[in-house]
Amino acid sequence: MVKSLALTFVLIIFISEGSSGQDTNRYELRLKMPVIDLPQNTSMPYFFPSMDQSFELSYDLYELGFWGIEKAGNILFVPKTKTYSKGRKVSNSIFKYGLSLIFSKYGSELPIPLGVWAHEEFHRSVLGVKSISSINGNWLLNRWDGTVYGISDETLSQLKTEKLNQLLYSYVAGIQYEIALNEKAGIRDFYKQRSMAKNALLLYNAYYVYDYFKFSSGAMSDSVKILAPPNESKNPSERDYAGADLTAWVYDMFNPTLAYTERDPFPDGEGVNRRIGFSDLSQEAQSYLQKQKKLSLLNFVNPAIFFINRIKINENFSFNIFTQYTPTHFGNDIAVFLPFKYKKYDVLVNVHSYSNKSSKGTGLGLGLFNLNLTEKLESDLTINAWNQPETFFNNNNLFGGSLSTTLRYFFKEDFAAFVLVSGKTDGWILGNPYLDSNLSLQFGLNYNLAR
């Protein structure tokens, strides 16, 4: 299998040998929207959005937000007739970065398709592929409180008994959105130079992940467990399904056979208190969660956070490198990503170390992006192979992988349609809601605005 995949890479490179060279444009805006995503658009209890649709919709709104901030800064600080002085340039940069940091934090919390909304959609997608219906609680038409609700205690109890891995995955899927957003933004903006980089967004998302672990691994989570219930519905289905995502994750991961109904009763209402405090965890589980908090600092090891978006060696070679920590249903994934440009080729290499409670596995990913096959046809190809722990306690590993290919046809220089085909074996990969084997098909549109 590995040999055949490697042969595919070589074949694509051979086909693209006669194509044009590196893209020297600076892009103000790059939008992507999967209009159809199968089977999720037909197999879940709701038709839209799939996990990837929610990701790309939120990504596009961040793109538009940063584009607007860039335009505002240029209007305010770039003179039409006078010389663009060094002082004005510095003031413009400070203005843009400050406003983009404010937008990254406070804009993300709005009940529109940005950070918190997509965070909740990632939860919903992992539940939805198992036919569990839910509602996004950070949406203008529902309610504005950063929850996923509409799920009964009975449904969650059954999910823990029958599909524990899927329940654990659903808990951490939300925070995986912020991690996936940094991964995609860092890689995409490396290959296509931007007129305004998303440095502030990368910083905020890395902080968000660390801060969530900080909250979960201390007394604050115990306080919220007491203070929140009086403000929650007496009807279990109206409450957030997870409470605090990370304490629920560690609690159920360390207690796989403990019935869901063994949680504390909900005060003055029906069912259980879904919120797990830090003190509800065993000492071993507490130590594990605190260790994960420290590991989440790896998400700050990214030069793009510190304004180094591309390290140029010479005209033919440039690169960047960053580390990434992700909590998973079996424990965690620690990865190193190396995107680089060699002549006209946009290449990605990533190496993964998967860990459960007491064993490890490895993974390797390769990608070729923006390959000009003809004047109007462009392609991406990614391959991943893994050896992952099956569960948190089970030391048996899953050997498998994934393959994804995209073809884009440009009707105009700035407008294209794409088709994406991706398949995977059993196992976990960031941005895919399925733990079982799966074959997916997408159709969508791209729009690029170059300066």
The rounded distance, in Å, linking the Cα atoms of 323 and 209 is: 14
Contact 446, 376 (CB under 8 A): no
What backbone torsions phi and psi does residue 27 show, to the nearest 5 degrees?
A: -100, 130
Residue whose entry in the numeric block shows the structure tokens 């004047």: 375
- Whose CA is closest to 365, among 344, 387, 332? 387
In percent, how much of the chain has pLDDT > 90? 92
For residue 440 the two structure tokens come to 């997916």
Q: Which tokens sit at 80?
A: 């039409």
Helices (H), 217-264: 219-227, 245-254
Q: Please state, rounded to an integer, the average pLDDT across all residues of the chain.
A: 94
Alpha helix stretches (DSSP H) within 331-401: none
Q: Is residue 16's pLDDT more than 60?
A: no
CA R_g for the chain: 22
Residue 22's pLDDT is what?
59
* H helix or E strand, kind and range, residue 387: strand 377-389
Cα separation, 205 vs 227, whole angstroms: 27
- pLDDT at residue 21, rounded to an integer: 53
Percent of the chain with pLDDT over 70: 95
| pLDDT value for 18 | 43
CA atoms within 13 A on the CB side of 414: 11
Give, as one character, the DSSP assignment of residue 26: -
> Is there a contact between 48 and 136 (Cβ–Cβ < 8 Å)?
no
Domain count, the chain: 1
pLDDT, tens digit, 9 for 90 and up, residues 233-244: 999 999 999 999
Residue with tokens 């010389």: 83
pLDDT at 1: 44
| Residue 416, H or E segment | strand 415-424
Closest residue by Cα to residue 427 from 296, 330, 294, 353: 330
Per the CB < 8 A criterion, the answer to whether 425 and 438 are in contact is no
Reported as a pLDDT band with limits 50, 70 and 90, residue 24 is confident
Q: What are 88's two structure tokens?
A: 């004005």
Closest by CA position to 201, among listed 338, 325, 297, 106: 106
C-beta of residue 402 within 8 angstroms of C-beta of residue 425: yes
Q: Which of 266, 241, 250, 176 is nearest to 216 (CA)?
A: 250
pLDDT digits (tens, 9 = 90+) for 215-271: 999 999 999 999 999 999 999 999 999 999 999 999 999 999 999 999 999 998 899
C-alpha distances in angstroms, 93 versus 69, 214, 372?
11, 31, 34
292-313 tens-digit pLDDT: 999 999 999 999 999 999 999 9
Query: What band does 451 get if pLDDT is binned at 50, 70 and 90?
Result: confident
Question: How far, in whole angstroms, is CA 111 from its chain's centroid?
Answer: 19
C-alpha–C-alpha distance, residues 164 and 153, integer Å = 15
Q: Tell me the three state secondary structure of residue 186.
A: helix
Which one-letter amino acid corresponds to residue 54? S
Q: Is 19 or 438 the better-scoring residue by pLDDT?
A: 438
Q: How far apart are CA 147 and CA 154, in angstroms?
A: 19
| Cβ contact 114:62 at 8 Å | yes
pLDDT at 81 (0 to 100): 85
Q: Which of 154, 153, 157, 159 is nearest to 129 (CA)?
A: 159
Of 220, 207, 293, the closest CA to residue 250 belongs to: 293
Contact present, 411 and 21 (Cβ < 8 Å): no
416 exposure class (CB count in 10 Å sphere: 0-12, 13-18, 19+): buried
| Domain enclosing residue 133, as ranges | 2-450
Higher pLDDT residue, 38 or 13?
A: 38
Secondary structure letter of residue 392 according to DSSP: S
What does the block give as tokens for 433? 């809601």
Return the structure tokens found at 294.
């420290």
Report residue 10 as tokens: 């070589």
Beta carbons within 8 Å of 159's beta carbon, 6+ residues apart: 127, 130, 132, 166, 167
DSSP letters of 130-168? TT---EEEESTTS-EEEEEE---HHHHHHHHHH-HHHHH
